Amino acid sequence: MSFARLLERSFAYCARLAIATQNLGAANAFRVFRSIRSGSTLRSIHVPRLKRTIFYRSAADKGVISHFFYPGTRILDTAALPVRVIVDAGANVGMETVRMRHFFPQAHVLAIEPSAENYRVLVRNAAEDKGFVETLNNGVWSSEIALHLEPGPTNEAFSVRPAKPGERTDLQAISMNAILQRVGGEIDILKMDIEGSEYEVFSKNTDWVDHVKAFVFECPDRDHPGATAQIFRTTAHLPLDTFISGENLVLIRKDTGWDMETTPYL
């Protein structure tokens, strides 16, 4: 490795550590950085800034605990139209659920995760939010069908597909129309990270998109080619502003008066 590359990596590491220290506290930041080197032991840290304990599984959750090391997306709502309902589709162990609860303490969050292993940790992370966070162990799909869970290379990469005749059924799908009914007919923020199932969800039974004020999603084309274009086709009739925030694409209805910022800090 060249000296320039080594210097670049050192600066990047220090930048991540500085953000983590601000968000988690110095002792917690060093503890997390040490623990994510290897293993899958369930660990916990109490975060004063969040006024809560968060759970993660050592290196197995390196990708999700790192949400506290990098700039993330924050929707800026207004006093006239505050965020009240959030759907976290593909919640994993709940780090974005925790962040959104911090930014919108009066909002109700529906957090949905298909992997049973991830879901168990998600439930632990939502335990302090009774009355504000509801969790579901389902896959998000365009209709209510039986699904097969496909493991990925990491705990962030589980995907789902329809179960074949005679195949083991891992879980039940929940459609966005069913989700919409469950949360009262309107969604203020839909954060979606469902490993390519976005293509299916935005292709069929898509009336629900008219009832969402802001969409937050990563470009899912690596998991399903053409998924991002399908999202834009399905939402083309809506009055949306489009933003780029780190790895996220953010679509916000113009009539909300809302804005967006990319912030490293809680």
Average pLDDT over residues 236-260: 97
CA distances from residue 30 to 20, 59, 84 in whole angstroms, order as listed:
9, 14, 35
Length in residues, the chain? 266
Global pTM value: 0.95
Fold of 70-263: Rossmann fold (3.40.50)
Give Cβ neighbours of residue 165 (< 8 Å, ≥ 6 apart). none
Write the pLDDT tens digit of every residue in 138-196. Answer: 999 999 999 999 988 888 888 999 999 888 888 999 999 999 999 999 999 999 999 99
Assign 3-class secondary structure to 119-184: HHHHHHHHHHHCCCEEEECCEEECCCCEEEEECCCCCCCCEEEECCCCCCCCEEEEEHHHHHHHCC
Per-residue model confidence (pLDDT) at position 179: 98
- Percent residues over pLDDT 70 in the chain: 100
Angstrom distance (rounded) from CA 266 to CA 239: 29
Closest CA to 216 of 56, 83, 124: 83
Tell me the residue type at 30.
F
Domain ranges for the chain, please list them: 1-69, 70-263
* Token representation of residue 3: 């000296």
Q: Are 215 and 250 in contact (CB under 8 A)?
A: yes
For the chain, give the mean pLDDT: 95
pLDDT at 1 > cutoff 80? no
Say if CB 99 and CB 72 are below 8 A apart: yes
- 118 and 65 in contact (C-beta within 8 Å)? no
